[in-house]
Amino acid sequence: MASSSHARSQTRRQLLSRIGMVAGSAALYQAMTSMGHAMGTDFSGPPKLSGAKKGTSVLVLGAGLAGMLSAYELRKAGYIVKIIEFQSRSGGRNISLRGGDTVTELGGATQKVGFAPGNYINPGPWRIPYHHQGLLHYCRAFGVQLEPFIELNHNSWLHSTGSFGGKAIRYRELAADFNGFTAELLAKAVNQHKLDDLVSPDEVAHLKDAMRGWGALTPELAYIKGNISSLRRGFEKAQGGGLNGAPVPSELMNRNEIWKSGLWNWMAFHERLDMQTTMFQPVGGMDNIGKAFTKQIRDLLQLNCKVTAIHQDNAGVTVTYNDMQHGGAVRQAKADYCVCTIPLSILSQLDVQVSDGMKAAIGAVPYASSVKLGLEFKRRFWEEDDQIYGGISFTDQPISQVSYPSHGIFSKGPAVLLGGYMFGPAAYDFAGMTPQERLEEGIKQGLAFHPQYRKEFLNGVSFAWSRVPWTLGCCSMWSEEARKTHYKTLCSIDQRIVLAGEHASYVGCWQEGAILSALDAVTRLHQRALGAA
């Protein structure tokens, strides 16, 4: 194992590193905080670039969010801008799949998406934390309609093949019992003077109060079967009305098995800053963000251009590409400057004329593997049978999770859920399967807590990011060593070329990283072009 760490301490260290990043602009941050305008990431408003030297041109490579935003801001500043893009669509990893779409992956497998009209899956980014204020700013500015994304659902399933007889339990049952037993142990330890070295006498009373309230303990500080605990974890027979309305409390789970199960990892997951409520999604599919960005720069955009070389000298930048709409004809585009948002996985294999340090940086960042499964079912059995409305069920099987649509709740007819979202080893495993095998595995594993799967299944699509021709992976995967050695170089302006994208940020794998990186890159490039830096 490369390293190990505890989930909780990671979150804290991540927080600290965030704080460290913000501290660079401490004065501004403090001022904004006092005005009540503090932002989650270090986005502090759109750049106000202006006064470009007349006739100065910038070529943007890649029409994902970073490329399109760079083009948008640079044109506003007065530059002559052009974007060239490999795909026959803009948006990059901001993508949604709908009925009629085709997915062709490396290796040749082609899938036709069979979803009913209105249904979709977001194979890439699918949720936006409330504090990703850069992305949210441009969503508002460009008229993208957002709706809440349900991340945490107390009624979703938690499943571990080796725990509780392999039977899935509800999130609320685990959360109630985990908190209850933890609180009880701590309260008892204090009561029995086992923590006298650690807890002062005047702290004891407050601590016991806190544990009783937090953990749903009895006045005697016990976490036991009864109405108090069942009001957290749910009743055996729910509260009703009339003659037989009295509830029956539910049994608690085995305490030792709770710790052992590891299921609490999924409680901790939702506590991460990145996953805290409120989260958002665009109405109708994540690609509505890409489409709204495209609207702003459509006249600058040339699709179907496969870049092969990026050269520069004192006079400017020359990019060589194959025009795929014209039989791959070799063409060149020239500009004074270049913002390159091509993923490093691709860029590291192109003929790029930059310093040795930049070359090493471009080659130092591998891309992670990830696979998503979108499964369409005849009806919303998770809602109708299980009262699960949005949110995520977790399992320790390779599919890792099943996530239910946050939109269209209570609607009739077919609906699409996320039937698996794999990273790491499970993603390698699934990416190596045929699309049919992936779906079959996803269904087989999902059956562990959704017995309706077979009967209700209509069709599905899988998206294996390591087999996507234009990224060869889902996102950048920095090692600590590479970050230390190469990050600053990667973000620096190499004569006339600057890189942008999630890979050039500390918010990697998030769209916010692409936004913040692009804003920083174009701001510095503008200063450079004006001769100020």
Q: Nearer to other proteins by C-beta: 215 or 442? A: 442
Binding mask 294-333 for other proteins (x = CB under 8 A): ------------xxx-------------------------
What is the per-residue binding string for other proteins in 418-437, x denoting contact by CB under 8 A? ---xxxxxxxxxxxx-----
- Angle of helix 65-77 relative to helix 511-529, nearest 10 degrees? 30
Question: With respect to other proteins, which residue has the nearer C-beta, 223 or 465?
Answer: 465
Q: Minimum distance between the CB of residue 429 and other proteins, rounded to whole angstroms?
A: 5
**Where would I find the beta strands (DSSP E) of 12-88?**
57-61, 80-84
Q: Is 393 in the site for other proteins (CB under 8 A)?
A: no
Q: Among 56, 153, 156, 370, which residue interacts with other proteins (rule: CB under 8 A)?
A: 370
Please report whether residue 2 would count as binding other proteins according to CB under 8 A: yes
Ramachandran region, residue 51 (left: φ > 0; alpha: ψ -120 to 50; beta: rest)? left
Q: Are 249 and 227 in contact (CB under 8 A)?
A: yes
Smallest separation (angstroms) from other proteins to the CB of 331:
14
**Nearest 5°: phi and psi at 396?**
-90, 5
Distance (Å, rounded) from C-alpha 370 to C-alpha 424?
A: 7
Q: Are 187 and 214 in contact (CB under 8 A)?
A: no
Phi/psi class of residue 100: alpha, beta or left (left: φ > 0; alpha: ψ in -120 to 50)?
left
Count of residues touching other proteins (by CB under 8 A): 86
Please select the residue that binds other proteins; options are 80, 189, 303, 368, rule is CB under 8 A: 368
**Residue 194 belongs to what H/E stretch?**
none
The answer to whether residues 58 and 84 touch, using CB atoms and an 8 Å cutoff, is no
Supply the DSSP symbol for 508. T
Closest approach of Cβ 490 to other proteins, in Å?
14
> Vertex 3, ends 2 and 6: CA angle to 5°?
150
Q: How far is the CB of 470 from other proteins (least distance, A)?
A: 4
Please identify which residue in 477, 520, 523, 528 interacts with other proteins, judged by CB under 8 A.
477
For residue 275, what is the DSSP state? G
Minimal distance, residue 475 CB to other proteins, in Å: 7
Whole-number Å distance between alpha carbons of 159 and 400: 9
Q: What is the DSSP string of 510-528?
A: SHHHHHHHHHHHHHHHHHH
Cβ neighbours of 434 (radius 10 Å): 12
**Touching other proteins, residues 236-295 (CB under 8 A):** 260, 262, 265-266, 268-269, 272, 274
Rounded least distance, CB 52 to other proteins, Å: 30
Touching other proteins, residues 117-156 (CB under 8 A): 125-127
x/- track of binding to other proteins for residues 95-114 (CB under 8 A): -----------xx-------
Q: Among residues 76 and 154, whose Cβ is nearest to other proteins?
A: 154
Q: Does 1 bind other proteins (CB under 8 A)?
A: yes
User: 134: how many CB neighbours lie within 10 A of its CB?
Assistant: 28
> Does residue number 229 form part of the binding site for other proteins (CB under 8 A)?
no
d(CA 86, CA 347): 12
Q: Which stretch binds other proteins (CB under 8 A): 66-74, 375-383, 395-403, 492-500?
A: 395-403
Q: By the 8 A CB rule, do 208 and 190 touch?
A: yes
Which of these ranges, 74-82, 133-141, 191-199, 347-355, lies near other proteins under the rule CB under 8 A?
347-355
The answer to the question of residue 392 lying near other proteins (CB under 8 A) is: yes
Please give the Cα distance from 120 to 96 (Å, whole number): 6
Q: Looking at 179-187, 227-235, 478-486, 489-497, which segment touches other proteins (CB under 8 A)? A: 478-486
Determine, following the binding rule CB under 8 A, whether residue 472 of this chain makes contact with other proteins: yes
| List 70, 369, 406, 459, residue binding other proteins (CB under 8 A) | 369
